[in-house]
């Protein structure tokens, strides 16, 4: 089946993560199921744009955002490009498709004050779960890693001698992130609590009290709950801590290329989104640095 071949392609050749493979598979099977019910078509490599357009309409009617719809169609686009490359089809049904318009949202990162108030608070319980949750939030802010990267972090990935961690990012690309002294101390405190659990064959750095690997929901709820106490911002997620990490570095003079490497972005263009929330800081630097600004 062409879907299976495509999934093998993105896994073995494109080196997409298992998480991405699952998401792509769901997208494609959802579309296939829609075509089978709506048009009695079992092979989606035979569709034309009218079927795709009908799916788009159904997604919008189900209250999916334009951003979500565009993401789903992007998966289809990759799938049909693969079919073109393997000469399974001669033309893509998405050739003339234009993405739905998306209103630009400026996600406001957590302030340094909000983060300090949380990490310096006594909100975290003095037991394993409390230390685990505090360490999760701390590591997000100290390193800017993604949620899945944190979940997949291995004990062997932490190098206390060089004060750094090795992160396996998207497309299985490795990167090294340095750790501040405070981050190293935080990780060591967590490990001291973890050792008391007497877990066997536990390769993952973070785990539940029973030794299970963390899941995405637990990590999200941890960040959302604690920042709900100290912040009134609408979006309180692990990605917002990543956003805060990048924004605060840029605000304090870090160049985009350095932040790009720390975040594991493929290009600087992906990193530039974090400069929007730093505009006031950029204006301040501009006025102070420009010869005409200095005179005023």
Catalytic: 242?
A: yes
Catalytic: 265?
A: yes
pLDDT in tens, the chain (296 residues): 789 999 999 999 988 888 889 999 999 999 999 999 999 998 899 899 999 999 999 999 999 999 999 999 999 999 999 999 999 999 999 999 999 988 766 678 999 999 999 999 999 999 999 999 999 999 999 999 999 999 999 999 999 999 999 998 887 889 999 999 999 999 999 999 998 887 766 789 999 998 899 999 999 999 999 999 999 988 999 999 999 999 999 888 888 889 999 999 888 877 877 766 555 655 666 667 766 665 55
Distance CA 80, CA 93 (A): 8
Catalytic: 226?
A: no
List the catalytic residue out of 134, 146, 194, 236: 146
List the catalytic residue out of 170, 233, 235, 281: 170
- Tokens 């009617």 — which residue? 61
Catalytic: 146?
A: yes
Q: How many CB atoms lie within 10 A of CB 156?
A: 9
Catalytic: 274?
A: yes
Measured N-to-C along each axis, helices 216-230 and 112-119 cross at an angle, to the nearest 10 degrees, of 100
Catalytic: 128?
A: no
pLDDT at 282: 58
List the catalytic residue out of 77, 242, 248, 260: 242
Which backbone phi and psi does 2 adopt, to 5 degrees? -65, -30
pTM of the predicted model as reported, rounded to 2 decimal places: 0.70
Domains and CATH numbers, the chain: 2-85 (1.10.150), 112-239 (1.10.443.10)
């Amino acid at each position: 089946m062409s879907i299976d071949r495509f999934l093998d392609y993105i896994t073995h050749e494109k080196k997409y993560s298992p998480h991405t493979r699952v998401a792509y598979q769901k997208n494609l099977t959802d579309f296939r199921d829609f075509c089978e019910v709506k048009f009695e078509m079992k092979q989606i490599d035979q569709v034309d744009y009218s079927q795709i357009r009908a799916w788009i309409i159904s997604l919008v009617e189900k209250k999916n955002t334009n951003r979500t719809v565009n993401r789903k169609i992007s998966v289809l686009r990759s799938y049909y490009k693969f079919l073109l490359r393997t000469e399974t089809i001669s033309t893509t049904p998405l050739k003339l498709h234009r993405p739905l318009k998306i209103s630009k949202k400026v996600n406001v990162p957590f302030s340094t004050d909000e983060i300090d108030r949380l990490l310096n608070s006594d909100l975290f319980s003095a037991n394993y779960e409390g230390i685990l949750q505090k360490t999760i939030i701390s590591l997000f802010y100290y390193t800017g890693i993604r949620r899945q990267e944190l979940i997949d972090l291995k004990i062997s990935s932490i190098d206390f001698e060089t004060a750094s961690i090795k992160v396996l990012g998207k497309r299985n690309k490795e990167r090294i992130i340095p750790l501040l002294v405070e981050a190293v101390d935080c990780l060591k405190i967590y490990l001291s609590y973890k050792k008391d659990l007497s877990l066997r064959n536990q390769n993952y750095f973070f785990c539940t009290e029973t030794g299970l690997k963390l899941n995405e929901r637990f990590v999200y709820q941890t960040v959302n709950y604690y920042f709900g106490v100290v912040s009134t911002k609408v979006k309180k997620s692990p990605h917002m801590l990543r956003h805060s990490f990048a924004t605060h570095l840029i605000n304090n003079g870090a160049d985009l290329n350095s932040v790009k490497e720390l975040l594991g972005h493929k290009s600087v263009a992906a990193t530039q989104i974090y400069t929007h929330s730093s505009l006031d800081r950029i204006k301040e630097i501009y006025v102070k640095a420009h010869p005409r600004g200095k005179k005023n």
